[in-house]
Structure 1
């Protein structure tokens, strides 16, 4: 039986692993199908403290992993196929590993950005296609960019990008936006923002140096056109990776895990959540890392008073 298992290896999970390992908790960290999380899909990260010249996303995550391993964290590659949180110890069925029993559990499985699933999109993530304006907007200073989406987050990101870009074009497949009136008005009043409504994205166009345009179809006439651009920001929402929990943890209506305010505690004692799986507001590497630290400390305090196994006899 393990003291603590961490699910996920983004900034939250790896930070939790570092803190737990330094506290001699010997965490077992389960890597899913995308070790390192969303940062492995980005190129240069310039807003993570401590790197004045920036750092490549994959390099940052690899260094965090090495730091956790240095203190004794154990990493295993697998995918949770079944989970039982109804009694202690918790039981996890992990593909390629088998059954794991643990006294406590940290959920840091993140949230996946919804993509358009059109040709050229995935191939150009980090080469002009982005799912995070606050992460990558700086790289498009003085350039022309497209935001795809019609909700509040799309309007917010469009306004944010006007701080850097020379022009921001909002592309949406409907005539009407889903965004609240105040967010729509704010975008419409911004002179740098223009509109391409009732247009369906068909393909991301790119050359040797990255994105060059977005092919769209006019939904009324079926005519196709290519909108020239230096960057495409996909802002159609995120999906928290919580389906594997099968309703055993309280979530909001969109699937994000509910935690006790000011903590990482879930409705199940001994189960903690950190990172984007419980954060639909900030979604930054640094905030995820901060909640990873919180989860490790919360788990450590929990085990001090609720351990089922006498670890002093087996350490």
Structure 2
């Protein structure tokens, strides 16, 4: 087996930042990239709210910069997907498609994936910057003066809708029922906002698109309208919008853990308040896999820093270097 002082599972802002700090602490971290290297930012066309890039930067470009920085500082990054992790043995065992690794400390930075509507085209347009998003805070600015829609009925959906009223000409809240799951206070705020219209008992059946030439000879598909279906009688209707924000929840990427770590009711890993420590000694969680509140690149990066610092301190106190480290 290949042993490491510390292994980081997952990339994105949390994983790469943890790798940067762990490298500077001389821990020679191994980073297992996973199925989507760079995380959700690799499907974000433009990031304008990450400090240090006054003109903005494409999401994939930001991840490339972080990855290159981690490599320059000494991190080892391999294109492995983790199948399972055994946290009840010492050293811990991480099982990948090509073999096993052992480690003294483990940082979990596998993020969370947005739940889509299950119609295919929404996820496709979301990945291509075609007018569909799962984050109003990330992308709302791009819809200034436009008609947009939000799908969902919980607090997150109403928060997204209220946030979008700062930019959009009008916000359409599409919900498949005639009552909302959101808190009463949030409902009252949304219903009192004249820029929000509720479309009750409606489900998104399909999306209509138009071809837009963003540059000479480079046409792309952009959202034009939502095809809605009444959930009571099936009658169709058309809602013309230029942006769709899917707010039906996120799913933390923790299936490989098979319940080995405590999580909240929505599957987000539990950490000790003010730290990234999980209830299992030597295991730390950072980024969206443990954050159901902010889910921003900057907060993920911050918690990645915390995870590396927490891990380095734990290692120095409980597991000082004593064995040779073998490399791939």
TM-score (norm 1): 0.97
Partner of 1:108: 109
Q: Which stretch has the larger CA shift, 98-107 or 173-182?
A: 173-182
User: Contact 1:120 / 1:206 at 8 angstroms: preserved in 2?
Assistant: no
Q: Give the ranges of 4+ consecutive aligned residues of structure 1 lying more than 3 Å apart after TM superposition.
A: 311-315
Q: Give me the whole-angstrom Cα distance separating, in 2, the residues matched to 1:313 and 1:205.
A: 55
Cα-to-partner distance string for 1:239-289 (whole Å, 9 max, x where unaligned): 111121122211112111111111110001100000001100000000000
Q: Give me the whole-angstrom Cα distance separating, in 1, the residues matched to 2:286 and 2:255.
A: 16
1:17-32 superposed matches below 5 A: 17-32=19-34
1:244-255 superposed matches below 5 A: 244-255=256-267
Q: Residues 111 and 232 (structure 1 numbering): CA distance in 2 closer, same or farther, change over 3 Å?
A: same
User: Contact 1:119 / 1:204 at 8 angstroms: preserved in 2?
Assistant: no
User: Contact 1:103 / 1:308 at 8 angstroms: preserved in 2?
Assistant: no
User: Contact 2:4 / 2:325 at 8 angstroms: preserved in 1?
Assistant: no
User: Contact 1:240 / 1:276 at 8 angstroms: preserved in 2?
Assistant: yes
Q: Which stretch has the larger CA shift, 252-261 or 130-139?
A: 252-261
3-state SS, counterpart of residue 13 of structure 1? helix
User: Contact 1:119 / 1:202 at 8 angstroms: preserved in 2?
Assistant: no
Cα-to-partner distance string for 1:180-207 (whole Å, 9 max, x where unaligned): 2111111100000001110111112211
Q: Give me the whole-angstrom Cα distance separating, in 2, the residues matched to 1:90 and 1:4.
A: 10
Q: Give me the whole-angstrom Cα distance separating, in 1, the residues matched to 2:75 and 2:206.
A: 43
Partner of 2:150: 147
User: Contact 1:120 / 1:205 at 8 angstroms: preserved in 2?
Assistant: no
Does 2:99 match 1:98? yes
Q: Residues 47 and 172 (structure 1 numbering): CA distance in 2 closer, same or farther, change over 3 Å?
A: same
Does 2:194 match 1:162? no
Q: Give me the whole-angstrom Cα distance separating, in 2, the residues matched to 1:41 and 1:205.
A: 21
3-state SS, counterpart of residue 121 of structure 2? coil
CA RMSD of aligned residues (A): 1.5
User: Contact 1:5 / 1:29 at 8 angstroms: preserved in 2?
Assistant: yes
Q: CA deviation at 1:313?
A: 9.3
Q: Give me the whole-angstrom Cα distance separating, in 2, the residues matched to 1:43 and 1:189.
A: 33
Partner of 1:216: 228
Q: Give me the whole-angstrom Cα distance separating, in 2, the residues matched to 1:80 and 1:44.
A: 29
Partner of 2:181: 178
Partner of 2:252: 240
Partner of 1:65: 67
1:1-315 superposed matches below 5 A: 1-95=3-97, 97-125=98-126, 126-209=129-212, 210-307=222-319, 309-310=321-322
Q: Give me the whole-angstrom Cα distance separating, in 2, the residues matched to 1:235 and 1:127.
A: 17
Q: Give me the whole-angstrom Cα distance separating, in 2, the residues matched to 1:269 and 1:310.
A: 18
User: Contact 2:10 / 2:109 at 8 angstroms: preserved in 1?
Assistant: yes
Q: Give me the whole-angstrom Cα distance separating, in 1, the residues matched to 2:104 and 2:197.
A: 54
Q: CA deviation at 1:220?
A: 2.5
Q: Give me the whole-angstrom Cα distance separating, in 1, the residues matched to 2:192 and 2:125.
A: 31
